[in-house]
Amino acid sequence: MLVPLPARRVLGAAVGLLVAGLVVPLVVSVSAGEVPELVLGGFEAPVGIHLRADGLGAVFLAVTALVGLVLTGYAAVLPAAEGRCAGPKGWQQGHPGFWPLWLGCWSGLNAVVVSGDLFNLYVGLELVGLTAVALVALGGRGSWEAALRYLFVAVLGSLLFLAGVGLLVSVTGTLDIAQTREALAEVADPEAPLLALVLMTLGLGMKAALLPMHRWLVPAHSSAPSGVSPILSGLVIKAALVVLLRAWLWAVPLSGGAQSHAAVQWLAWLLGALGAAAVLGGSVLALRQTRLKPLVAYSTVAQIGYWFLAFPLLVSAEHDDALAAGAYGAVIALAAGHAIAKAGLFAAAGLLKDRYGTDEIAALRGAGAHHPALILAMGLCAVGLIGLPVSLGFTGKWQLATAAIGAGQWWLIVVLAAGTLLAAGYLLRGIAPLLLQSEDEPAAAKPVSVRERLGESAVMLLGLATIGTGLLGAWLGDLLGVGAWW
């Protein structure tokens, strides 16, 4: 906060570029089959802070670097909203705390994906959650209620997760994830580990906005400033998913006695059922929206549901490495594809709202005539969210369907098909009116500024990345196998 306002944008962009550049050699190293590890302070586990970059960590480091770098550029060039802080530096002057909060959030995201112990997962989650709440509050008085609700959910979710961690430590005597798994494999009484898993899952489900714990997400993502909404939906909620996967697949072994395994299966099936409800319910709610940002936000609720559909498959595929790898790969492909595509859609929605002063879909009718590249980029992002070929969304849905057939879970195919059709419907509802002719075009006389064109270029980069990353499905599968729990 000590850096003058004019210099924050330059410094923020430079730091973003540096962080993204440092991720590249790390991802290359993991791609070669290595698992880089670092013990901070010279203290080994269970005392020291253990950092570990495996396949899961490398994927989300790369996704965060890609999306974060583009969104950093987007925020740096974002013009002032209509009626607010007019001028070339309007957005920056209206949101002076953006850069330290965004860079702090990025640090927390990276810390979450490389943490090798449970406590530092908690610390990373707290950093991400608190900075995200503050970013929402940058939207002014209209966003403070949503930010306060988000704060309550973030704190409660963290406390539940921390309570679960405390139970695990009381049983195992260690915070190290690998040592926790080894110790739990020898525990005779499964009650404490099961309760810990339930508490952590509940807390992380709140943070991930799994239906019915999603009520905070739409107001927060819709009322946040244009430079913040893409960060929240594209990146922040992925932190909870990464920690949930660490807890289920790395820390707490899914095997055990009959009673223990039955309880884990029940919990996994509950998550699968809630995921199906989220896919269908979130899609229907998105179809009913008349504003673009809430439509995109409810789409996030639906897309989150796909991640949880895989949990029953992960449990039933406990002794089938191929099936487990397929279900696990599906979750990561869907989450990574969603991060890129949803960041692009929210960035586009923010540009349109700032230019036209509204995100009412009816009022944006005909906007495509003045922003053809922006509408094309939105279409490319929609391809990924629908799950059409040549996108990670398609790769993830294909892997999920294949794993479901292999496990005999045909109901998942029905949910996938229905969710895909509904996604096509609500995205068409949001984008198609922009391409139609409008009888009255109040903003047509105002030329599109250079800053707006640069913002549209950032959205186009995310749209192209949505398609380009779809060609990396095989590489993604190989990368996820590095350091996997199996």
Helix (H, G, I), strand (E, B) or coil at 413: helix
Choose among 75, 97, 80: nearest CA to 13: 75
**Residue 443 clears pLDDT 80, i.e. is over it:** no
| Token pair 């005909």: residue | 366
Model confidence at 50, pLDDT cuts 50, 70, 90, reads: confident
Model confidence at 80, pLDDT cuts 50, 70, 90, reads: low
Model confidence at 64, pLDDT cuts 50, 70, 90, reads: very high
Helix (H, G, I), strand (E, B) or coil at 173: coil
pTM, to two decimals: 0.92
Look at residue 464 in the predicted model and tell me its pLDDT: 96
- Where along the chain do its domains lie? 5-480
CA–CA separation, 53 vs 30, rounded Å? 7
Token digits for 453? 């064109």
Please tell me which residue, 75 or 91, carries the higher pLDDT value. Answer: 75
Query: By the 8 A CB rule, do 61 and 53 touch?
Result: yes
Token digits for 270? 């509950």
CA–CA separation, 80 vs 320, rounded Å? 54
**Residue 468 clears pLDDT 60, i.e. is over it:** yes
**Residue 75 clears pLDDT 70, i.e. is over it:** yes
CA–CA separation, 83 vs 86, rounded Å? 7
Which segments of 11-58 are extended strands (E)? 37-40, 49-52
CA–CA separation, 78 vs 455, rounded Å? 6
Query: By the 8 A CB rule, do 169 and 129 touch?
Result: no
CA–CA separation, 157 vs 61, rounded Å? 23
**436-471 burial code (b ≥16 CB/10 A, e <16):** eebeeeebeeeebeebbeebbbbbbbbbbbbbebbe
Cα-only R_g, the chain: 22
Q: What is the pLDDT of residues 321-340, one digit of tens each?
A: 778 888 999 999 999 999 99
Q: 37: which strand partners?
A: 52
**399-416 burial code (b ≥16 CB/10 A, e <16):** bbbbbbebbebeebeebb
Query: Average pLDDT, stretch 139-157?
Result: 91
Q: What is the pLDDT of residues 158-214, one digit of tens each?
A: 999 999 999 999 888 888 888 888 888 777 777 888 899 999 999 999 999 999 999
Q: What is the pLDDT of residues 87-125, one digit of tens each?
A: 444 455 556 788 899 999 999 999 999 998 999 999 999
DSSP-H helix ranges across 317-449: 321-356, 372-386, 392-406, 411-435
Model confidence at 258, pLDDT cuts 50, 70, 90, reads: very low
Length of the chain: 486
Please tell me which residue, 432 or 368, carries the higher pLDDT value. Answer: 432
Query: Average pLDDT, stretch 348-356?
Result: 90
Q: What whole-number percentage of the chain has pLDDT above 90?
A: 61
Token digits for 47? 């005392």
Average pLDDT, the chain: 88
Q: Which of 31-45, 89-103, 275-289, 470-484 has the lowest mean pLDDT?
A: 89-103
CA–CA separation, 161 vs 109, rounded Å? 17
